[in-house]
Amino acid sequence: MLSKIQKFIALSREEKKLFIEAYMTLGIMRAAILTVSFKRLTRTLHHHTNPIKPPVLTDHQIRVASVVGLAIHRAAAYTPWKSSCLVQALTVQRMLQKRGIPGIFHLGVMKDKTTDDQIKAHAWSQCGENIITGANGSEKFTVISIFGWGRE
């Protein structure tokens, strides 16, 4: 516990603010997933079923998106609730939309051969050409939906 506090104290002021915002938004998104329909959660987003190109971003927007993604990754490791890939993708969307940075998140599925061919799902977010959250294994999933925010 003490080492976690020391790690937090070692962060810069801006990193602390982003960590706290990410932690709180992860909690809000987790609660929303449990209580609100997915359709309602994504009603303000542009839904696509075919592949689209992510919006082109400036260098500054790419840096901000990366820093936000890092804050979400850090905060998700410390939540007492399950901060799944979908929770993180929705958190990225909320935090970047607030900053005026466009992006997309993908929903994908694949057969899980380790559990009698059950379906596994995964969500990952992308800004420009960079995957912000959910990069691990995303290439193994077949994209079934894409949700975009900002410039389309």
- 3 state DSSP class of 109: strand
Average pLDDT (91-95) is 97
Based on its alpha-carbon atoms, the radius of gyration of the chain, rounded to whole angstroms, reads 16
With cut-offs at 50, 70 and 90, classify the pLDDT of residue 152.
low
Q: For 33-44, how does the pLDDT look when each residue is reduced to its tens digit (9 = 90+)? A: 999 999 999 999
User: Is pLDDT above 90 for 59?
Assistant: yes
Q: Which residues contact 87 (CB under 8 A, 6 or more apart)?
A: 26, 29, 30, 33, 76
Q: Is this prediction's pTM over 0.85?
A: yes
Among 52, 67, 63, which Cα is nearest to 150's?
A: 52
Whole-angstrom Cα distance, residue 101 to residue 84?
22
